[in-house]
């Protein structure tokens, strides 16, 4: 049977969450690393909006949003705990906040030159106060966003926190958010994340390498989570 095909971009946090969901679901898939400056016409024909990730299923159905790709992957046999654990009203609010206000502040903090009159420090403070500090508080009471087990919401959100932390790593490390910082560090060290960042050749379609069986036994995230 034909594999699903994922149009992806290595450093895109939306594409990261899609790749991690496919890896968790142990899904064989083909991947096409896109150049955002030269998007493939095949992808644009499937999804004219022109953002990644985009997934073409063997049925011909096209999934154009990262959360829809996660949903599809994590409701396949064997992965549903990851999906179910994320489905609370509170978690859905976190996703909306992440993809909404936090992403808005993150873009203006990371790329102030792209926005008029943008003072990056204003957005750094906004992101900290409205998202990161509350997220730290939430993680003080639970190891993961769904409780004691990792869930889809963790992998949907941490790539964005990673991007924020990467703007000024020293400043980020100095903030007092120990639960959030530990949660992020553990995810970054996980086999799952390391594998999802596997470097693919650009602008061709290849088979995404499967995570080997030995490492899969230590899934979801091996021992570093504590």
Ligand X SMILES: N[C@@H](CCC(=O)N[C@@H](CS)C(=O)NCC(=O)O)C(=O)O
Interface with ligand X, residue 136, by CB under 6 A: no
Pick 53 or 220: Cβ nearer ligand X: 53
Interface with ligand X, residue 52, by CB under 6 A: yes
Q: Do the beta carbons of residue 163 and residue 106 sit within 8 Å?
A: yes
Cα–Cα distance, 160 to 176 (Å, whole number): 19
Min separation Cβ 130 and ligand X, Å: 20
Residues 29-48, one symbol each (x = binds ligand X by CB under 6 A, - = not), give -------x------------
Binding residues for ligand X, total number by CB under 6 A? 11
Pick 50 or 209: Cβ nearer ligand X: 50
Q: Which of 14, 131, 187, 208 binds ligand X (CB under 6 A)?
A: 14
Residues 56-85, one symbol each (x = binds ligand X by CB under 6 A, - = not), give ---------xxx------------------
Min separation Cβ 177 and ligand X, Å: 24
Min separation Cβ 34 and ligand X, Å: 8
Residue bearing tokens 């102030």: 112
Please report the DSSP string for 127-192 in residue order.
HIIIIIHHHHHHHHS-SBTTBSS--HHHHHHHHHHHHHHHHSHHHHHHSS-HHHHHHHHHHHHSHH
Q: Which of 8, 47, 51, 186 binds ligand X (CB under 6 A)?
A: 51
Pick 68 or 225: Cβ nearer ligand X: 68
Interface with ligand X, residue 8, by CB under 6 A: no
Radius of gyration for the chain, computed over Cα atoms and rounded to the nearest angstrom: 17
Give CA separation, 105 vs 27, 59, 172, 216, in Å: 34, 38, 15, 36
Q: List the interface residues with ligand X, window 186-225 (CB under 6 A).
A: none
Cis (ω within 30 of 0) for the bond into 175?
no
Pick 50 or 147: Cβ nearer ligand X: 50
Min separation Cβ 58 and ligand X, Å: 20
Cα–Cα distance, 199 to 181 (Å, whole number): 26
Cis (ω within 30 of 0) for the bond into 197?
no
Please enumerate in sequence order all residues whose Cβ is within 8 A of that of 187, keeping only pairs 6 or more positions apart, or say none.
154, 155, 158, 162, 193, 221
Pick 110 or 143: Cβ nearer ligand X: 110
Interface with ligand X, residue 12, by CB under 6 A: yes
The residues of the shown chain that bind ligand X, judged by CB under 6 A, are 9, 12, 14, 36, 50-53, 65-67
């Amino acid at each position: 049977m034909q594999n699903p095909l994922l149009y992806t971009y290595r450093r895109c946090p939306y594409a990261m969450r899609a790749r991690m969901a496919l890896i968790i679901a142990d899904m064989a898939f083909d991947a096409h690393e896109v150049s955002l400056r030269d998007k493939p016409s095949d992808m644009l024909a499937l999804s004219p909006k022109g953002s990644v990730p985009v997934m073409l299923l063997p049925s011909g159905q096209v999934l154009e949003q990262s959360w829809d790709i996660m949903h599809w992957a994590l409701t396949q046999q064997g992965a549903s705990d990851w999906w179910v654990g994320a489905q609370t009203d509170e978690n859905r609010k976190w996703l909306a906040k992440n993809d909404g206000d936090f992403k808005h502040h993150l873009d203006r903090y990371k790329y102030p030159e792209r926005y008029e009159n943008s003072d990056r420090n204003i957005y750094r403070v906004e992101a900290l106060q409205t998202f990161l500090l509350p997220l730290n508080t939430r993680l003080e009471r639970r190891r993961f966003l769904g409780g004691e087990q990792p869930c889809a919401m963790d992998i949907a959100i941490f790539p964005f926190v990673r991007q924020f932390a990467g703007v000024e790593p020293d400043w980020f490390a100095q903030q007092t958010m120990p639960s959030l910082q530990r949660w992020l560090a553990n995810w970054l060290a996980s086999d799952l994340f390391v594998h999802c960042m596997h470097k693919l050749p650009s602008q061709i379609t290849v088979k995404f390498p499967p995570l080997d069986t030995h490492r899969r036994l230590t899934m979801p995230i091996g021992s570093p989570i504590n």
